[in-house]
A and B are shown apart, each in its own frame.
Chain A
Amino acid sequence: MVERKRQFLVRWIVSIVVLVVLLVLVNGVSREFDRRLDLTAAGTHTISPETGNILSRLQEPVILEYWVSEKLPSGLQNLRRDTVDYLDEFQRAAADAGGRIEVKVIDPARVIEQYVKEQAGDGEEEEPDPMAAFMGGPTSPADTKKAELAQQGIPELQGRSIKEDGIEVVPFFSAIVLKYLDRESEGIPVHTTLEGLEYELVSRIAKLTLESKPVLAFFQGRPDDMITQGPDGSPLPAPMSRFDPLLDALGDRFEVRKIMLTEESLIPEEAQLLIIAEPDGTTPRQRYEIENSIRSGRPAMILASTTSGSMDRGFQLTPLNPGFSESFGKWGIDIQPNMIVSSQRQCGSIETVTEGPLGMRMRVPQPFPVSPGAAGNNLDGTSPFTRGLQALVFPFASPLIINEAVADAAGVKITPLAKSDSDAWLTPFGPAVTAPMVTPPKDPGMQKSRVLALVAEGEFPSTFEVGSKIPSWDPTLEVTGGEEGAPLVEASESVESRILLIASADMAKYTSLNMYRQNVGFLMGSIEALALDPDLAKIRGKVQLASALRETTRDERTLVTYGNMAGVPLLLLVIYGLISASRRSGARHHEALHMLKVPANAGEKKEAS
């Protein structure tokens, strides 16, 4: 008996050990040859074919270094594994497309440790320098190496982890560096999410592999509008354009060429994107050139409104006439000649100087209703231009009207990107922002959501009649029927193109960008998406569907919360009660019929008596 039990135990223990070994092996193999099924609608976790297109152009391998610490803070526990898996997938996609990517995962702690050992081995270990520590400089070889890494775009970050005795601050690294030939490396210094990583990598690879910087043509409608003071009121060494700070920032990635749109200063052939800022009084010839540029397939970004304002000089307003109504009208777009005023709930703010305690002058933020904002559901979360943005502010914006029937007839697809809140109203132009302007209208019907930015795509038809004279560079000649002997407009094929229309001429100006910093990312990202490879825009548009909630009433929220929390459980118990009662009744009926031969309602009668 004992022997039988012993044999049984031995047999089973051996079987279980074999099973465990087999399971470990199967798990190991499945990890090694992992296959993933991306269930997201947009394929957020899958490398898209557009990426393959871009990677297929790689002549030489791109080295992709992922600098990541072994220890990561809470909330980023899966980052290392997920990123490594993703980079492996990326490498496979590149290989399938004929491109070459080399992925290296580097632990910065080991690199720093190695550096410290080398320093110690060379006898160059220095005493900690208290003055350096006081000045915030490196005090040890490890600090020196960290500073060196930070310069290479691999900064040490800080996160938080939960420990037994509270919160622990965890220093960690998570950066991606891309290297190609001997060109200056590109990097993602702070990598904490896989969201949008495909775009971040591919856009950098696209930039790395470019022989020269892409060219942007920049046309400012009011070149005389200059600034002479910095945001703090200090005088600038020389007057500069209000758009210069943005153009300087773009200079890192693009070659920006300012153009005047005159006979001598045309749109360069090699320009990837035409930016039109604050158009005012655009002449027919300029419009002709712009239209031709768009119809040739070159995308355009237009910042246009019917009002420009100042936030630093008594909120003065300047009327603008963008001069695009003839083109836009035929494409189903209209810029209305009014200014949008938003409720104080969803607008930008400005800093006003007020007198504080002890007569001190303080800067206090105040709502600025003539800077309507777009946030949450009012931003298209699926568009490559507005994906991932929390909020945007459109100073002195004019409403954009979309005429879908006209657009459809012209073969143009228009998508609103940003809308004001539903309480916004319109105010006519005035020389300055006044109190009546920002007072809500008495008729609530005047208040509604207005389009603040849109993207128009398609093969834009020409609005200049074939066979008519090409407008003269001298607009005065147009009054007398045009230039004599002027060339005629010829029929031409239109190529698919895109226009990003932003209904605020002031959005990209220095003062505005300084105040509404969230707009910087939008403008830079949009310019990148428009100017670089069109495939990049598609990759950038890949996003886990926003799936935002619509505006809900209190009653709806209560219904949903208590319906699920209490309603469903109660319903289940009621169903059980009914099933149980039905079973009891059935059992009694069965007993009455076949076993006891007593009337089915005998029990009830007895109870009643």
Chain B
Amino acid sequence: MSSIMVVMRRECGAYFHTPIAWIFIALQMAIMSFFFFQYSPFFIIESADMRVWFGLTPFMMMVFAPAVTMRLWSEEIRTGSTEVLLSLPVESRDLVIGKWLAAVVVLLASVAASLGIPATLGWLASSPVDWGPIVGGYIGTVLAGMMFLALGCWVSALSSNQVVSLLVGVTVGILLVLALSPDFASYVSSSQPVLARVIESLGVQSHFQAIERGVLALSDVVYFLSGTTLFLTLCVFQVELRKQ
């Protein structure tokens, strides 16, 4: 456990003592706020909720999670520091979890930075805001974010080139969010109903939408935790493979 914390602290330092995490969070806030206030008719529909914001979240995660995690392993592999890291008396599993937890800290910081939006809603609402779906949306954001960051960790361990890691991460993200979308499921449902069900079960959006609506279902939580476990395990495998 202590080794996980040591790795996490080291990676957190790498994120927050350099502009990486700050720029990532600032950029994410700017883009999300632009879509929320300018692109969507927030002041026209006059609804004090964050459904539009949370609707954008999977799409942002799809791009930003690999951007945050791309350096986690690729950088180490490129500079050769992996050799040193893997020779330390630390389990590969602890290294992977420590690095992933550092990325989760960045995610939590970005969630904290977006708390201005619910504060804004509280200020502008004419009646009490229903905080339940907003809390649900944030829980969904953290769960989905954890899965995408685990995916990014794994993809980062595949290549020594950060750009390649980013591109592969975004591609897999697109697969999970867009290709396995409920839209696509309904597209194939008439000819392949079983395939449609599989697509719906594997896609991020169909699991995220219920949480965004204010319903926290066990199946959705299990889905995100399963995805996180799978990608972290694949990452451990990849790191172990380098050890051999």
Contacts and interface: CB of A to CB of B under 8 A. Distances in A.
B210 A82 contact: yes
A546 B33 contact: no
B97 to A, nearest CB: 16
A19 B236 CA distance: 13
A302 interface: no
Contacts of A70: 189-190, 193, 196
Given A566-B30, A569-B29, A583-B17, A30 B206 contact: no
Interface in A542-598: 544-552, 556-557, 560-561, 563-566, 568-570, 572-573, 575-576, 579-580, 583
Contacts of A570: 26
A36 B217 contact: yes
A386 to B, nearest CB: 13
A333 B15 CA distance: 64
A564 B113 CA distance: 10
Contacts of A381: 127
A15 B93 CA distance: 14
B133 A16 contact: no
B179 interface: no
Interface stretch (A37-45, A205-213, A400-408): A37-45
Contacts of A548: 46-48, 125-127
Given A42-B130, A78-B182, A4 B244 contact: yes
Contacts of A557: 43
Given A81-B206, A576-B22, A72 B186 contact: yes
Given A27-B226, A71-B189, A547 B219 contact: no
Interface stretch (B57-65, B67-75, B227-235): B227-235
A336 interface: no
A73 interface: yes
A572 B26 contact: yes
Given A545-B130, A568-B116, A8 B215 contact: no
Contacts of B226: 23, 26-27
Given A12-B240, A40-B133, A30 B218 contact: yes
Interface string B70-114: 000000000000000000000000000000000000000000010
Given A78-B210, A568-B116, A547 B25 contact: no
A154 to B, nearest CB: 18
Contacts of A12: 237, 240-241
B127 A74 contact: no
Contact of B222 (A30, A572, A576): A30
Nearest to B227: A23
Given A70-B189, A549-B48, A572-B25, A39 B240 contact: no
A20 interface: yes
Contacts of B182: 77-78
Interface residues of B, number: 71
A348 to B, nearest CB: 21
B124 A568 contact: no
A382 B127 contact: yes
B33 to A, nearest CB: 4
A427 to B, nearest CB: 29
Contacts of B43: 549, 552, 557
A35 interface: yes
A77 B183 contact: yes
A442 interface: no
A228 interface: no
Contacts of A576: 19, 22
A163 B131 CA distance: 36
Contacts of B128: 41, 545, 547
A71 B195 CA distance: 12
B136 interface: yes
Q: Which range holds the interface residue count of chain A?
A: 35 or more
Contact of B37 (A30, A35, A71, A561): A561
A75 to B, nearest CB: 9
Contacts of B129: 545, 547
A30 B219 contact: yes
B177 to A, nearest CB: 13
A31 B117 contact: no
A77 B206 contact: yes
B229 A572 contact: no
Nearest to A70: B189
Nearest to B230: A23
Contacts of B223: 27, 30
Contact of A16 (B26, B48, B187, B237): B237
B22 A573 contact: yes
Interface string A22-63: 010011001101111111111011000000000000000000
A19 B231 CA distance: 11
Contacts of B124: 549-550, 552, 556, 560
A169 interface: no
A20 B226 CA distance: 9
Nearest to A12: B237
A37 B221 CA distance: 11
B132 to A, nearest CB: 3
B113 A572 contact: yes
B167 interface: no
A559 to B, nearest CB: 9
A519 to B, nearest CB: 22
B121 interface: yes
A552 B15 CA distance: 39
Contacts of A41: 128, 130-132
A109 B38 CA distance: 42
Contacts of B127: 381-382, 545-548
A263 to B, nearest CB: 48
Contacts of B11: none
Interface in B140-180: none
Given A19-B230, A545-B129, A564-B33, 13 more contacts: A23-B226, A26-B226, A34-B218, A39-B132, A39-B215, A39-B216, A78-B209, A382-B127, A548-B126, A550-B126, A552-B43, A556-B124, A573-B22
Interface of A: 4-5, 8-9, 12, 15-16, 19-20, 23, 26-27, 30-31, 33-42, 44-45, 70-74, 76-78, 81-82, 109, 161-163, 376-377, 381-382, 544-552, 556-557, 560-561, 563-566, 568-570, 572-573, 575-576, 579-580, 583
What 3 pairs between A and B have smallest CB-CB spacing? A77-B182, A39-B132, A569-B26
13 contacts: A12-B237, A27-B222, A30-B223, A36-B215, A38-B132, A40-B130, A45-B213, A74-B186, A545-B130, A547-B47, A547-B125, A547-B128, A547-B130
Interface of B: 16-17, 19, 22-23, 25-27, 29-30, 33-34, 36-38, 43, 46-49, 113, 116-117, 120-121, 123-133, 135-136, 181-183, 185-187, 189-190, 193, 196, 200-201, 206, 209-210, 213-219, 222-223, 226, 229-230, 233-234, 237, 240-241, 244
